Chain A
Amino acid sequence: MTTRGLRRHLTSGFMTGLVALLSFLAVVSLLLILGDLVAKGASSLDWNFFTQNPVPAGQSGGGVANAIVGTLIIVGLAALIGLPVGIGTGLYLAEYGSGRLGWVVRFVADVMNGTPSIVIGIFAWTWLVRPWHFSALAGAVSLAILMVPMIARTTEEMVRLVPHSLREAALALGYPRWRTSLRIVARTALAGIVTGCLVGVARIAGETAPLLFTALGNLNFSTSILQPMQTLSLQIFTYATGPFDEWHRLAWAAALVLMGLVLLLGVAARWAIRQRDGTAR
């Protein structure tokens, strides 16, 4: 082999090693973060943590029961508002989205997908907080707005994956278009749509920025959606930026719980998409 050929092969080997190393670094950073979460958070997870409300600053003990319940309520409410709109928009894009309106909606969805969540938070504030007051509902609305474009685009892609022959078969048998769309097409794509929804919910579950001045946070246990409400993400922010060691300990534990919730939704999403290969068609 000539020197030049050797050099070229060495470069190739070196660069292969380099990109492998970079991938390794990216994976390591993930493992480091997850490892720290478990190492610093797991020891604080006890019965009290899940069942008690926060205690006044300076005292030890207490838990985040109100934040866990608040997260579930706000995320559930956001899903209730956001999922129908998102799925409907996605179905529209897949079924009728070839015209000009389809193009506009698709473009707007992509643009809003990249909009900073804090800007959405301000928007929800002008709508629901400025004329009224801080409430869990305002927080849920801001999360729903974040969710819609994401779910619309995944629903569209999933529906588009349905083979055209299925649609033709249904139409040829005399199904009207709306029933074909709902009972044949959407049903075939159901696993994919569910996955998209779960991923969407997982992404908003950890959002903090849009909740800062909508749901605001609440030291007490509250289930009224018209009142300020605490969520895990807000709790982590407050505790992490506060001065007390006790708070920091609780912040790590709350972060571990939040991460667990998000991962659970992610695993459910993977499981749902796997069902598609098994059952449909």
Chain B
Amino acid sequence: MRLRGGFFLSMPGCYRSVTDVAYVSRGMTTLPIDPLATPGAVDAPAPRPRWRTLRGANVGDRLYRGALTALAVVLPLLLLTLLAELVVSAWPAIKQFGLPFVWSSVWDPVAGVFGAAPMIFGTLASSLLALCIAVPLALGVAIYISEFAPKWIRQPIAFLVELLAAIPSVVYGLWGVFVLIPFLRTWVVPPLRATLGWTPLFSGVFYGSSLLAGAIILAIMIVPYIAAVAREVLLAVPASQREAALGMGATRWEAVWTAVVPYGRAGLIGAVILGLGRALGETMAVTMVIGNRHDIGLSVLQPAYTMAAALANEFSEATTDIYLSALFEVGLILFVVTVVVNALARVLIWQVARGTAVGSRAL
């Protein structure tokens, strides 16, 4: 790099902190007063604090900062517009149906009467059921990789599990329709019905597309997210925790279960909630296998509906204004729920590794 003429700045202690060096730049030599010349410069007639003066000195710096700020502001503005757009478009439905929209289960586009209860129920049921399957699986993966697996196998397993997140949603849907559902029909549902068919959870006819199929697909889809964050959380647990437990005579599993996992509990719960957030908003795969029926049923073998699936199926078919508005309200509910769930997860994860935001890289 070539030094420019007239340049000087080699005195230590002339800046408050490292980053402040940035304010001192090429333009400096053009300043009328050299603030560092003599000790007396402090009382010299300088109307403004000197660093403020210097900060404004370089046009390039100001432009750069301005440009980056302009780009950074785009995201918050987008979020605000998104929220405003959803609220405004959903307003007619909110006004007409009020709060009962959430627990009414009538969905009649012809009569123009709408209630989103079946979708809200289906969204929650499929996501929670998916969590029941995914959490043991994902925590197992995370614990195995971070605590037990031999060194050479850790990276490959982590990579392969993360690859699950790379599979597009629509491909999961395709696989669900043509592989998973036939498999369930032949191998899983008959024994289930034979043993548990008397409970309301497994009653009714199995057509294929069902809450169960949706939940299983969702579970496979969210495993990589939960596992990745959980792994980072476990890795962030100080080694002293393990050493202390092992030193007191705990077996390896006891060390993990009594010292490591409790230490990272908040982060692990955060990881699970993050997975829940993913599951709530997942659209394509669920739409393809869940059956899309406006009905609240307890049986996991029967078709259900989710908010995201309703949007995917009906949005472009919405013929009347109130129909469209009702769908916007569904979108608004979905959006608010996922925002709340995600914010909660973030707070929990940040608690484990304050400042370093463990887990954000995995997403």
Residues of chain A having any CB pair with chain B under 8 Å: 8-9, 11-13, 15-16, 18-23, 25-27, 29-33, 36-37, 40, 84-85, 88-89, 91-93, 95-97, 101-102, 104-105, 107-120, 122-123, 125-127, 145, 148-150, 152-154, 157, 164, 167-168, 170-182, 202-203, 205-209, 212-213, 216, 233, 236-237, 240-241, 248, 251-252, 255, 258-259, 262-263, 266
Contact = CB atoms under 8 A, between A and B. Distances in A.
Given A26-B227, A178-B60, A240-B178, 8 more contacts: A16-B148, A21-B140, A23-B141, A107-B343, A115-B342, A119-B334, A176-B25, A266-B166
Contact of A171 (B22, B65, B178, B360): B22
A108 B76 contact: yes
B167 A113 contact: no
B63 interface: yes
Interface string B185-206: 0000000000000000000000
Contacts of B111: none
Please classify how large the interface on chain B is, using the bins under 10, 10 to 19, 20 to 34, 35 or more. Answer: 35 or more
B22 A180 contact: yes
B253 A178 contact: no
A29 B253 contact: no
Nearest to A17: B148
Contact of A209 (B65, B171, B284): B284
Interface in B154-186: 157, 160-161, 163-164, 166-175, 177-179
A31 B157 CA distance: 12
Contact of A112 (B78, B141, B280): B78
Contacts of B316: 212-213, 216
Contacts of A123: 81-82, 85-86
A209 B169 contact: yes
Interface in B307-363: 308, 311-312, 315-316, 328, 331, 334-335, 338-339, 341-343, 345-346, 360-361, 363
Nearest to A184: B1
A260 B7 CA distance: 54
B173 A178 contact: no
Given A177-B22, A240-B288, A262 B331 contact: no
A205 B26 CA distance: 44
Contacts of B26: 174, 176
B89 interface: yes
Main secondary structure, interface of B, reads helix
Contacts of B141: 19, 22-23, 26
A262 B168 contact: yes
B315 A88 contact: no
Nearest to A15: B253
Contact of B71 (A9, A92, A118, A181): A92
Contact of B251 (A8, A20, A182): A8
A174 B9 contact: yes
B274 A92 contact: no
A22 B140 contact: yes
A33 B308 CA distance: 24
A172 B89 CA distance: 54
B144 A237 contact: no
Contacts of B137: 22, 25-26
Nearest to B337: A116
Given A26-B164, A181-B64, A118 B312 contact: yes
A114 B143 contact: no
A255 B102 CA distance: 37
B169 A206 contact: yes
B31 interface: no
Contact of A176 (B58, B174, B341): B58
A19 B153 CA distance: 14
A40 B179 CA distance: 11
Given A85-B71, A208-B284, A113 B363 contact: yes
Contacts of A108: 75-76, 79
Contact of B311 (A26, A104, A118, A266): A118
A116 B281 contact: yes
A167 B175 CA distance: 50
A19 B74 contact: no
Interface in B54-69: 58, 60-61, 63-65, 67-69
B4 interface: yes
Can you list the 7 inter-chain pairs with the closest CB atoms, starting with the nearest?
Answer: A206-B168, A116-B281, A22-B140, A88-B71, A178-B64, A177-B22, A114-B342
